[in-house]
Amino acid sequence: MLQINHLNKSYATEHGLVHAVGDVSFGVARGEFLAIVGSSGAGKTTLLRMLAGLLAPSAGQIVFDGQPVTAPPRAFAVVFQDYARSLFPWFSVQRNVELPLVNLIADRGERLARVEQMLGRVGLADHSRKRPAQLSGGQQQRVAIARALACQPEVLIMDEPFASVDAQTRNELEDLMLSIKQEAGTTVLFVTHDVDEAVYLGDRVLVLSRSPSTVAREVIVDLPAGRDQITTKALPAFAAARAAVLSSIVEQAAVPA
């Protein structure tokens, strides 16, 4: 479905050329949940912005369903880490979720029905009239997820979306993502700095090297589809995948800059 070929990104700064992404190549199957991890400064966010069509690569190519990605594809949706800045504070929850649908669905009644469906899916059906400031951080991120899902994307790109919420909310949002993937079959590219989260959610985990990043290792996650926070994380297969990912991150951090 998605093929990344020798992707590279460099920036010109006042201190010279900065090489953020070196030579990254991988493929993503339709319906796959691909987690991407790496140490701080490994170029994870830069990579995602290129995959979303928000940032042009210096070299290489991204191909989606046989076509090069040169701008944000309509079939893609993005959820960022900073939910507070991604929502319009002067709009209601309902209006925030409806906004991207204005150019997709002409009939407002149909749009609002879609919005209601998505808010119900993320557990916010009773909060549609509230403003973002009246919600908790976890609820605001649920609104951002509902807004992305309202467009019925084929590919959902998420940049450390749960990094700013507490542990219990994080677990709830992780389980929400698993249920969404099972229900909708959406392909997900998910950047996180949390190894446990990557293994719990992912079908596969890519470990990036230090910047300029390459794919240092690929770990296949051999866990059952029906995952839960207690049973799944107690499985030997979970511990094995976690150890493989963590050891790769530690090895990359030890590589001299």
Q: What is the mean pLDDT of residues 104-113?
A: 87
pLDDT digits (tens, 9 = 90+) for 224-256: 888 999 999 999 999 999 999 999 988 877 676
pLDDT digits (tens, 9 = 90+) for 149-196: 888 899 999 988 888 778 888 898 899 888 888 888 889 999 998 999
Looking at residue 99, its amino acid is L
Highest mean pLDDT among 25-39, 80-94, 95-109: 25-39
- Full-model pTM: 0.90
Q: What is the mean pLDDT of residues 69-87?
A: 84
- What pLDDT is attached to residue 165? 79
- What pLDDT is attached to residue 7? 92
Highest mean pLDDT among 9-18, 32-41, 79-88, 230-239: 230-239
In sequence order, which ranges of the chain are alpha helices (DSSP H)? 44-51, 83-86, 93-98, 108-121, 137-150, 167-184, 195-201, 236-254
> Residue 4 corresponds to which tokens in the numbers above?
């990344």
Q: What is the mean pLDDT of residues 122-148?
A: 90
**Strands across the sheet containing 67-68:** 67-68, 59-64, 2-13, 16-28, 213-220, 204-208, 33-37, 187-191, 155-159, 76-79
Length of the chain: 257
The answer to whether 66 and 38 have CB atoms below 8 angstroms apart is no
Calpha distance 146→163 (Å, rounded): 18
For residue 10, is pLDDT > 80?
yes
Write the burial class of residue 158 (CB in 10 Å: 0-12 exposed, 13-18 middle, 19+ buried): buried
What is the domain partition of the chain in residue ranges? 1-75+157-215+239-257, 85-152
User: How high is the mean pLDDT of the chain?
Assistant: 89
For residue 257, is pLDDT > 80?
no
Residues with Cβ within 8 Å of 108's Cβ and at least 6 positions away in sequence, in order, are none
- What pLDDT is attached to residue 35? 95
Q: What is the mean pLDDT of residues 130-144?
A: 90
Fold of 1-75+157-215+239-257: Rossmann fold (3.40.50)
- What pLDDT is attached to residue 184? 80
For residue 105, is pLDDT > 80?
yes
234 or 118, which is more confident: 234
> Residue 168 corresponds to which tokens in the numbers above?
């219990």
How many DSSP H helices and E strands does the chain contain?
A: 8, 10
- What pLDDT is attached to residue 18? 79
Residues linked to residue 37 through DSSP beta bridges, in sequence order: 207
Coil, helix or strand for 97? helix
- What pLDDT is attached to residue 167? 86
Calpha distance 69→49 (Å, rounded): 12
